Amino acid sequence: MERTFIIIKPEGVRRGLIGEVLSRFERKGLRIARLTTGHIPEKVAREHYAHLKDKPFFDELVEYMTSGMVCMAIIEGPNAIQHVRSLIGATNPVEAAPGTIRGDFATELPYNIVHASDSPETAIAEIARFFGTEEDA
Ligand code: TYD
């Protein structure tokens, strides 16, 4: 059993895609262990994307992630990290295959609908950052 962390980004929430995105994880056979909505504070967005702080698109990315309500979840199941990354598709919607979330619902960066942890280390760090460390799921 493995846990991963996802964010349905502001335009995903604005476009009413929370149910669509979560249902794809559920249909795969994964479980929604925790679920919440809220706004990401700028400081937390900067921390979350700290690995990209030197990129030219960093400020725009932070502005976008803090521009509206998001939906955050812990998804769990066998190989959850890899399965969720496969279901969301490539980072750039132009490269994301049809059938993936980004391939089906997004057209251009940075607007790619959903974030998902990309390794066991980032999953642990992101779950702690956004849900705290309590194990009550
Ligand atoms: P990254 O962590 O590289 O990808 P992923 O979200 O698939 O783990 O990038 C984080 C976010 O930064 C990405 O979802 C959208 C945005 N981004 C851009 O706006 N332009 C870019 O050229 C890249 C690589 C990412």
* Number of domains composing the chain: 1
Give yes or no for residue 57 CB within 6 A of ligand 1.
yes
Distance in Å, CA 136 to ligand 1 centroid: 31
pLDDT at 68 exceeding the cut of 90: yes
Asked if the structure places residue 27 within a domain, the reply is yes
Q: Which pLDDT band holds residue 135 (cuts at 50, 70, 90)?
A: low
Q: Give the pLDDT of residue 133.
A: 79
Strand partners, 73: 6, 35
Report pTM: 0.96
Range of the domain at 14: 2-131
Asked if the structure places residue 136 within a domain, the reply is no
Q: Which residue has the tokens 């725009």?
A: 60
Give yes or no for residue 10 CB within 6 A of ligand 1.
no
User: Span 55-78, mean pLDDT?
Assistant: 98
Asked if the structure places residue 38 within a domain, the reply is yes
pLDDT at 25 exceeding the cut of 90: yes
Q: Are 8 and 111 in contact (CB under 8 A)?
A: no
Asked if the structure places residue 112 within a domain, the reply is yes
